[in-house]
Amino acid sequence: MWNVLLAGLLTGLALIVAIGAQNAFVLRQGIKGETMLPIVLTCLLSDAVAITAGIFGLGAVLERWPGVLPVAQVLGGVYLLAFGLHAAMRAWRPKGLDAGDGSRMSMKRAVLTTLALTWLNPHFYLDAVLMLGTVANSFGDDRWWFLAGALIASTSWFFGLGYGARLLRGFFARPSAWRVLDSGIAVVMGALGVGLLLH
């Protein structure tokens, strides 16, 4: 039991802890201290749904109808490019870079953005549904312990990233720091978007 739980924890961390669109968004909102709980809970719920679906055989469905992934790939690529362009515009203009500029994101928009960055990313299906679902099922009746380990990894990472980012708020009180962060986010989102469209 414990070895399966640990396997789920380590495998989950290996797939979640990577520079990506979702993590970049969670980091930025965490620094600003905006709508963090809804964003983190949306990430966790998405992981739980995707991994559980993989365990119940959605991976086999995706293999049978592989046309689902290219559609998500194009939509995700376009969305990431638009998101990257928006980040570049924030980095270019001095106003709106400070966390205290009053440009708060509503809870609805934050949740919808999190859902889009998660579910329009075909790598999310490959990692959470196919990879984790397949590995979990390899443990037979103990697969639910693997799921528990993967969800512990997801919970630890997103709460740590989102709320731990507040420690950087002093540094990001300067507009120049926001310019650097948003420039980095623009590059990451743009590269991921181009990669999806050209893949």
Domain limits of the chain? 2-198
65 is written with which tokens? 């109808």
Overall average pLDDT of the 168-176 stretch: 77
Q: Is the dihedral of CA 102, 190, 196, 130 positive or negative?
A: negative
**Whole-angstrom Cα distance, residue 7 to residue 2?**
8
How would residue 61 be classed by pLDDT, with cut points 50, 70 and 90?
low
Structure-token match 């099922």, residue found: 137
- Select from 112, 95, 98, 8 the least CA-distant residue to 51: 8
Give the chain's length: 199
Cα–Cα distances in angstroms (integers) from residue 94 to residues 77, 86, 99, in the given order: 27, 14, 12
Helix axes 2-16, 143-164, angle to 10 degrees: 40
Q: For every residue of 90-108, which 3-state class applies, written as one string?
A: HHHCCCCCCCCCCCCCCHH
**pLDDT number for residue 62:** 62
Round the average pLDDT of the chain to a whole number and report it: 82
**Whole-angstrom Cα distance, residue 142 to residue 139?**
5
**Whole-angstrom Cα distance, residue 30 to residue 149?**
24
pLDDT tens-digit series, residues 74-127: 877 888 788 888 888 877 874 443 444 446 789 999 999 999 999 988 878 878
